[in-house]
A and B are shown apart, each in its own frame.
Chain A
Amino acid sequence: SQTIHQWPATLVQPVGSPLSLECTVEGTSNPNLYWYRQAAGRGLQLLFYSIGIDQISSEVPQNLSASRPQDRQFILSSKKLLLSDSGFYLCAWSFSGPGRPNTEAFFGQGTRLTVV
């Protein structure tokens, strides 16, 4: 069976500090990977999606970046955090490729980031 791991669960960081959130998927290969952010009281906002190693698309301009160094590893980073980066960050994956059911996104448990 497939599992997704996202860490840390909570994080408090000062303004201007770097950020690294990690997400790994087990039990499948070549998944589509996503990073979402959810501000307080708001819906999910797609930040990045990836269909393969080093194939990453950014949905919105921001001071965040994403990398996929391995097939099942997706990392969200920032060199200098802003107050507005506070929020709930979710990693997700879905099946990809012909004949595979690309019908559901499976989410990690999320990271609550507070920038102070």
Chain B
Amino acid sequence: KNQVEQSPQSLIILEGKNCTLQCNYTVSPFSNLRWYKQDTGRGPVSLTIMTFSENTKSNGRYTATLDADTKQSSLHITASQLSDSASYICVVSQRMTTDSWGKLQFGAGTQVVVTP
């Protein structure tokens, strides 16, 4: 069973509108959570990183939130642009311990299409 679940699987939004993507995880022990943006045919690129103690972090028009108690994160895109069309992937990192080597767990991604 995938330890990182993302929703929705895909969404279409009009240029200029806002949208929110969700990520729920069961990864334990938790270290941090990253959101990646993957353009078609390219490797994913990191947008934000959040550790256990952080609740929100922004990167331009992207704002990520984290609730470590409920194990949920969201990525909010403000005033979407055509260049925001991409797959957004939630990645949760295990904390390295004697029993855990810190493997990265990837969500399946949310495909965002921004239309004019």
Chain A residues within 8 Å of B, Cβ to Cβ: 32, 34, 36, 41-44, 46, 49, 51, 88, 90, 92, 94, 96, 98, 102-105, 107-110, 112
Q: Are A109 and B42 in contact (CB under 8 A)?
A: yes
Q: Are B41 and A112 in contact (CB under 8 A)?
A: yes
| B contact residues, total (Cβ < 8 Å) | 26
Q: Are A46 and B106 touching (Cβ within 8 A)? A: yes
Tell whether, in the assembled complex, residue A103 and residue B43 are in contact, meaning their CB atoms are under 8 Å apart.
Answer: no
Say whether B41 contacts A105, CB under 8 Å. Answer: no
Q: B31 in the interface, Cβ–Cβ < 8 Å?
A: yes
Give 4 nearest A-B pairs by CB, closest first: A43-B108, A107-B43, A43-B109, A102-B102
Q: Are B101 and A32 within 8 A (Cβ)?
A: yes
- B93 in contact (CB, < 8 A): yes
- Contact present for A98 and B96 (CB under 8 Å): yes
Contact pick for B87, options A43, A103, A107, CB 8 Å: A43
Cα of A51 to Cα of B102 in the assembled complex, Å? 10
Q: How far is the CB of B104 from chain A (nearest CB, A)?
A: 5
User: Which B residue's beta carbon lies closest to that of A95?
Assistant: B102
Given contacts A42-B108, A44-B109, A103-B32, contact A96 B101 (CB under 8 A): yes
Q: Give 5 A-B contacts (CB < 8 Å), ordered by A residue.
A: A43-B106, A44-B108, A103-B31, A107-B45, A110-B42
Specify the chain B residue showing the minimal Cβ separation from A97.
B96
Within 8 A of A (CB), among B41-56: 41-46, 49
B44, A107: Cβ atoms closer than 8 Å: yes
Q: CB-defined interface of B76-116 with A at 8 Å, one 1/0 digit per residue?
A: 00000000000101010100100001111011110100000
